[in-house]
Amino acid sequence: MIYLAAIFVYLFVLVGIGIYTSRRVKTESDFAVAGRTLSPWVMVCTMLAVWIGTGSIVGNAEETYRTGMAAMIIPAGTFFGMILLSFIASRARNIEASSVPEIIGRRYGRAARLLSVVALVTAYMVIVSYQFNAGGAVLEVIAGDKDPVLLNRDDTLTARQLTKGRMVYTPPQDWTGTVQLAVVSTQDSGKSIPYTIHVVENNTSAAADDKNILTILKNRHAKIRYSIDDTDSDYRIAAAAEVGTLSLIEPRLEASHATIMAAVFILAYTMLAGLLSLAYTDIVTGILIIGAMVAALPVLLYQAGGFSGMAEAFAAMQNKTRHMQFWGVYSPVQLVNYLLPVFLLILGDANQYQRIFAGRNARSSRQAVTTMIFVAMAIELLIITNAWIAASMTPDPQNGKYILIYAAKHYMPPVLGIVFLVTVVGIIVSTANSFLLIPAITFIKDVYQTHINPKATDRHVVFLNRVLILVFGLIAYGVSLAFSESTGFFHKALYAYTIYGAAITPSLVAAIVWKRATRQAAMASIIAGIAIPLLWGEVISPHVSGWLKELDAVLPAITVSVAALVGVSYLTQPTMTQTPSESK
């Protein structure tokens, strides 16, 4: 329980900082852009903390567990996106805006501004939702499991226990052979559902898992995950293992309860002091990220037995024989699917622009973004390398889903493990805070103050921001319930990045650097960027073939969005010839 105690101490420290800095929040500018007082050093820390979020520490690590060394190419999207962002950072800071839709509205008008708000809120609710899921996952993994309970014939289990790997088979020492299990539904006792476990020698290439069939190496246990259609019924064990033992292992803290705990804390903390408190707690988080990732690398590599030990371990695992290979694992289509969403997000991310707006001046903003090019790239590579090494020691895919969290608890010395887990929690909290704060600030600035109450006082605006953080947090929690049982963190992140990057980034960048873009073109681009990702999976993708069928929504979405922006711009007359910075 020392890990949970350390995390709670860290969270109480964050609350203390939030309460202290909340006293300094007097105006809308304090809440939204930290009073435009951030130095380059503080900006780098807060930009790093918000960018290295759950998508990196959980999502990229999860993908690394699946593919191995090849995942080191994933940060390339961040690297090239940051390079381009550095060229426009000073221009963006000179605009003196408070939100990304405000820049779009100054250039293209109110309708485009409202559309950009819709796109931003839609994407950010998805992002916040999986921060809640990730916070719950951390608490669940750290809390650990209850003591195993032996199972016998005629014992009853729920569908969730069967599908989530709560039932565990342990073969005898050095035994190989085949075990047959079976369950029957309590509502349809005539239909038996079999499950086969093959235990093979360590030098045998284990076959891939099939439906209700599992192959494991000897002296390893098997977490049984049934594939069943009726998830509303309970199930009775009709045939138990004749050799070995069958146990039920339940977590001390269920993921659903842990997610609620994480969401409540994140909401309460975000409501305290806005960007002002986040920026200064991010100094601590930024330092922890760098220190923890650097320190963990040699420790994990030693535990894994060096690169030779990793190669041997991967060769013995199911579906991991290519984990020591960099080239040839990802197809060109997969590289597009994985790199392009991240590139588009970083180039237009409202969180990064919010911190650019909060800089003391254009020069400090440019310095911070330039530094971030190398810092973010290094940290993302460290995250992936640590996950890759830890994967070689973790054959169970259930633990691989949260590989770095699991590694901190099981492979690192307690002191380093505590620091590492505190870092993970800090990353999740910082990212969730930021992605909750931006929609609230955006809605107040670009909808309420623009269309409903332009004369709202600073005190009233700060109060409404806090109310909206609560409202958006509840919406994001609802989205987390829909996502939590399906898509992994990596693909959740890519989907959200695609919606935002295709809808917002082209019009935003054009508003800053391209005078020919027109109001009609921006609206067409934003609508296309929202529509294509929403329609691609269920409506469009089933009707294409070949390599197009392998594409995620990102390439079609950005292609149509940019084509609409450029094409409509040349078909219509500019309605506004000034750049946002000139139209103040």
| pLDDT, tens digit, 9 for 90 and up, residues 485-504 | 555 677 778 888 898 899 99
pLDDT digits (tens, 9 = 90+) for 329-372: 899 999 999 999 999 988 888 878 877 777 667 777 778 888 88
What DSSP string describes 363-375?
HHHHHHHHHHHHH
Q: Considering only 57-61, 154-158, 276-280, 398-402, which range has the smallest mean pLDDT?
A: 276-280
Binned at pLDDT 50, 70 and 90, residue 38 comes out as: low
- Across residues 208-234, what is the average pLDDT? 77
Q: Does residue 251 sit in helix, strand or coil?
A: strand
Of all helices (H) and strands (E), which one includes residue 180?
A: strand 177-185
Helix axes 414-443, 458-483, angle to 10 degrees: 120
Give the distance from CA 305 to its chain's centroid.
30
* Cα–Cα dist 132/253, whole Å: 15
Rounded to whole angstroms, the Cα distance separating 522 from 569 reads 8
Predicted confidence band at 185 (pLDDT cuts at 50, 70, 90)? confident
Give the separation between CA 534 and CA 320, rounded to whole angstroms.
33
Give me the pLDDT at residue 453, please.
85
What SS3 class is residue 210?
A: strand
DSSP secondary structure code for residue 561 in this structure: H
| Contact yes or no for 400/391 (Cβ under 8 A) | yes
3-class DSSP assignment, residue 157: strand
Q: What is the DSSP letter of 548?
A: G
Angle between helices 332-348 and 350-357 (to 10 degrees): 30
Averaged pLDDT score across all residues of the chain: 82
Chain-centroid distance, C-alpha 573: 41
Measured CA to CA, the distance from residue 200 to residue 212 in angstroms comes to 17
Q: Residue 169 is encoded by which pair of tokens?
A: 């088979």
Average pLDDT for 77-103? 83
Global pTM value = 0.79
Q: Is the pLDDT higher at 206 or at 268?
A: 268
**Integer Cα distance of 407 and 411 in angstroms:** 5
Q: Which residues contact 410 (CB under 8 A, 6 or more apart)?
A: none
Pairwise pLDDT comparison (461 vs 172), residue with the higher score? 172
Rounded Cα distance, 353 and 43, in Å: 11
The answer, yes or no, to whether residue 561 has pLDDT greater than 50, is yes
Residue 134 is inside which H or E element, if any? helix 110-143
Burial readout 62-93 (b: 16 or more C-beta within 10 A, e: otherwise): bbbbbbbbbbbbbbbbbbbbbeebbebbbbbb
pLDDT at 584: 41
